[in-house]
Amino acid sequence: MAEMIDPFGRAITYLRVSVTDRCDFRCVYCMAENMTFLPKADILSLEELDRVCSAFVRRGVKKLRMTGGEPLVRRDIMKLFRSLSRHLDSGALEELTLTTNGSQLPRFAHEFADLGVRRVNVSLDTLDADKFAAITRWGKLDKVMEGLAAAKDAGLQVKINAVALKGVNDDEVDRLVAWCGDEGYDLTFIEVMPMGEIGEDRVEQYWPLSMLRAQLAEKWTLEEIDYRTGGPARYVRVKETGGRLGFITPMTHNFCESCNRVRLTCTGTLYMCLGQEDAADLRTPLRLSESDDLLDDAILEAIGRKPKGHDFIIDRRRKQPAVSRHMSVTGG
């Protein structure tokens, strides 16, 4: 079947799926404390999610990442991972993975490894239990540490994602680099993005990674490497620890020219760009017919209007987020 090439010649080989908009945390940069979640009827069943993901795999998607909200709080989510792992077995899919806050990994890490999941991204912005509680509002650092231990024990490669937050974890970046080096985890810093109303001022949170990197370079030797994971991170190696360190800089460096991905929400809405409002409804064609023909057509039509790139701005003049949906809707 023909692969998906967008209007700018980019092959679409990576699908991220937000399997739920719910979460057991309420991170200050991601959600407001009182969130209204989607009604259940709007949400694709696990079988429907499988159908959509499989349609993308048939069209050349090689990497599937489950995210959310917190993917592991969705009931019976392992059923979806189990059924999608058939595409790993067949060789159609190169990677099945997830981004998680880690709180549920103690339960699931070993099963992931058994299914052929090799790597997990775990979001962790601080090693300080009080700060962690303040950032996540509802999270417990101990539980995430247990999850990380379980992942390690299961032989999963771990990458830590940390959002750079001015005045919050800016005094901890060296400690995070050292700790990840000791534990054998890759580490990626992310710039805070203007997504959704969160009841806080993002100008106060935003810390450009160029500044973070300059601060790190005072203590560590950062060596350029050309390691890529198919994601937007640019990596260096920290000479002293041997660990890989990534920077995701949507605000200070536009990486759209090499974008290979699209994002599906749990309601079957396909966003062709994280930073744009344009979207395609895949739920209607999915539910209209048991055959996948309508779904396939809708996917191709959507890829045909993938935009060139995003347009994020955080500044004091612009009070509105660039896109109104929260990160937990489209998934990180």
* Residue ranges that bind ligand SAM, judged by CB under 6 A: 23, 29-30, 67-68, 70, 99-101, 123, 161, 163, 190, 192-193, 195, 327-328, 331-332
Nearer to ligand SF4, 131 or 237 (CB): 131
Minimum CB distance to ligand SAM, residue 142 (Å): 17
Rounded Cα–Cα distance for residues 10 and 24 (Å) = 36
CB atoms within 10 A of CB 54: 20
241: partner contacted, choices ligand SAM, ligand SF4, none (Cβ within 5-8 A by kind) = none
Q: How far apart are CA 23 and CA 331, in angstroms?
A: 12
Sequence-distant (6+) residues with CB within 8 A of 47 are: none
Among ligand SF4, ligand SAM, none, partner that 163 touches (CB below 5 to 8 angstroms by kind): ligand SAM
Q: What distance in Å separates the CA atoms of residue 307 and residue 147, rounded to the nearest whole number?
A: 37
Is residue 62 within 8 A of residue 87, CB to CB? The reply is: no
Q: Which does 26 bind (CB under 5 to 8 A by kind): ligand SF4, ligand SAM, none?
A: ligand SF4
Cα–Cα dist 124/13, whole Å = 27
Tokens of 253: 């460096």
Minimum Å gap between C-beta 174 and ligand SAM is 20
Q: CB-wise, 71 or 181, nearer to ligand SF4?
A: 71
* Residues making contact with ligand SF4 (CB under 6 A): 23, 25-27, 30-31, 68-70, 101, 123, 328
Closest to 52 in 3D by CA, of 264, 306, 259, 328: 264
For the four alpha carbons of 214, 219, 223 and 227, in that order, the dihedral sign comes to negative
H/E run at residue 210: helix 209-217
161 binds, among ligand SF4, ligand SAM, none (CB under 5 to 8 A by kind): ligand SAM
Minimum separation from the CB atom of position 246 to ligand SF4 (A): 17
Find the shortest distance in angstroms from Cβ 279 to ligand SAM: 17
> CB 271 → ligand SF4: shortest distance, Å?
16
Backbone angles phi, psi at 234, to 5 degrees: -105, 135
Nearer to ligand SAM, 50 or 70 (CB): 70
The listed partner (ligand SF4, ligand SAM, none) that binds 63, CB under 5 to 8 Å by sort, is: none
Q: Which is nearer to ligand SF4, 75 or 316 (CB)?
A: 75
